[in-house]
Amino acid sequence: MSKKNQFDLHESRLGTTASDGHRIFLHPEDVKGFWRTKRNQFYWFLIFLYLILPWINIGGKQSILLDIGAREFTFF
């Protein structure tokens, strides 16, 4: 006698609905750990760099300048 797997669904039923038709809500788990923390710190560093670089002058010009109208592009 084969036992039916609880994850096998009938083709007409969605994976997020119970057998009586009610919705089963999926809640993602919070991810924690060393590398997740490092990744978040790196994201914040990149955002900070993106926001601060246009105000830093190198050689009398902005460190990053993208002026499409005047066709002037400066990177450091």
Q: What is the mean pLDDT of each run of 10 residues along the chain (76 residues)?
A: 64 69 84 96 96 89 88 84
| Rg for the chain, CA atoms, rounded | 26
| Nearest Cα to Cα of residue 76 among 47, 43, 49 | 49
- pLDDT value at residue 21: 76
Beta strands in 5-76 (DSSP E): 57-58, 61-62, 64-67, 72-75
Residue 51, pLDDT score: 92
Q: What angle do CA 27, 46, 62 make, to 5 degrees?
A: 150
pLDDT for res 36: 96
Query: For the chain, give me the number of helices (H) and strands (E)?
Result: 1, 4
